[in-house]
Amino acid sequence: MTSETLKGKVAIVTGASRGIGRAIAVMLGRHGVKVAAAARTEHDLLALCKEIESRGSESTAVCTDMTAEEDVKRLVRTVIDRFGTLDIVVNNAGIGVFGPIEETKTEDWDRIMTVNVRGPFMLCREVIPYLKQSRDIAWIINICSVVGVKGYVSQAAYTASKHALMGMTKVLAAEVKQYGIRVHAICPGGVDTALVAEARPDLDRSVLIQPEEIAEIVLFLLTRRGNAVIDQVNVRRAASEPWF
């Protein structure tokens, strides 16, 4: 499958207003995908949609609080009402609070779990009926993290949330396989985003992965339609140690 065959497909991208989500939304629009961009900041979403539409594709901005169940349901209804179908879902929205476990507040722990795990769960639940109806292969891509596999000091809540997302992703992949829905997990190390800047202020930004590089991996996954399926992609900074 070439990127040309993505033209006309419909995607939801959460956390689309900046960073990795924005790069993915722009990349999809560049290849003719109709993009529903979801985030909390309307101004940034409208600017994103303007950029996508300037490249000749369709888009819609849907202000969405991923912690609110009705917002998630409204997001899916808006996409179906606007485009009539759904083929691709990218769960990218996420937050982090960093510090030692003994200094982590319960409310921060709960908020991270709500955004990073409960949000993707609700969206996956709502979109599965529509992805089943996709004319061809459908995809759910969950942007996880290196901390979904490993553990780092001062990142307990964030790490726990990404481990939970990885667990849900594994079960989801098994449950929807029979419907031709492919589920992928991308686990990046340090990406040049505001979240990583907060978590790892010690890192030199010049050695960080660029959001566009993660978008390229998403494109690679979406253009595989043969018998080989890639379940999980581990991505590290070139300056960091290999995973194996």
Predicted local confidence at residue 192, as pLDDT: 87
Give per-residue pLDDT as tens, 119-148.
Answer: 999 999 999 999 999 988 999 999 999 999
pLDDT > 70: what percent of the chain? 99
Q: How far apart are CA 18 and CA 40, in angstroms?
A: 11
- Residue 240 within a domain: no
CATH number, domain with residue 154: 3.40.50.720
What's the mean pLDDT in 228-240?
95
pLDDT value, residue 94: 94
Q: How confident is the model at residue 5 (pLDDT cuts 50, 70, 90)?
A: confident
How many independent structural domains does the chain possess? 1
pLDDT of residue 198: 82
Residues in the chain: 244
Residue 243 lies in a domain: no
Residue 48 lies in a domain: yes
Mean pLDDT of all residues in 92-98: 94
Inside any domain, residue 125: yes
User: How many Å apart are CA 86 and CA 205, to the nearest integer?
Assistant: 36
| Distance of alpha carbon 204 from alpha carbon 15, whole angstroms | 24
pLDDT in tens, 55-64: 899 999 999 9
Catalytic pick among 130, 152, 158, 179: 158
Our CA dihedral for 233, 34, 168, 95, rounded to 10 degrees, sits at 80
Residue 95 lies inside a defined structural domain of this protein: yes
Residues 2, 86, 7, CA angle at the centre, nearest 5°? 30
The DSSP result for the chain, as a single string, is --GGGGTT-EEEEESTTSHHHHHHHHHHHHTT-EEEEEES-HHHHHHHHHHHHHTT--EEEEE--TT-HHHHHHHHHHHHHHHS---EEEE-------B-GGG--HHHHHHHHIIIIIHHHHHHHHHHHHHTT-SS-EEEEEE--GGGTS--TTBHHHHHHHHHHHHHHHHHHHHHGGGTEEEEEEEES-BSSHHHHHH-TTS-GGGSBPHHHHHHHHHHHHT--SS----EEEE--TTSPP--
Per residue in 186-219, pLDDT (tens digit) is 999 999 888 888 878 888 888 899 999 999 999 9
Residue 41 belongs to domain spanning: 3-234
Question: Is 72 part of any domain?
Answer: yes
Q: What is the pLDDT of residue 2?
A: 57
Q: Residue 47: pLDDT above 90?
A: yes
Query: Residue 204 has what pLDDT?
Result: 84
pLDDT at 234: 97
Catalytic site includes residue 130? no
Give the number of C-alpha atoms closer than 13 A to the C-alpha of residue 236, restricted to the C-beta side: 9
Assess if residue 91 is contained within a domain: yes
Confidence (pLDDT) at 200: 82
What is the per-residue pLDDT across 61-82, written as a single tens digit (0 to 9) for each?
999 999 999 999 999 999 999 9
Asked if residue 244 belongs to a domain, the reply is no
Query: Across the chain, what does the average pLDDT equal?
Result: 95
**Residue 199, pLDDT score:** 77
Mean pLDDT of 162-189: 97
> With bands split at pLDDT 50, 70 and 90, how would you rate the model's confidence at 225?
confident
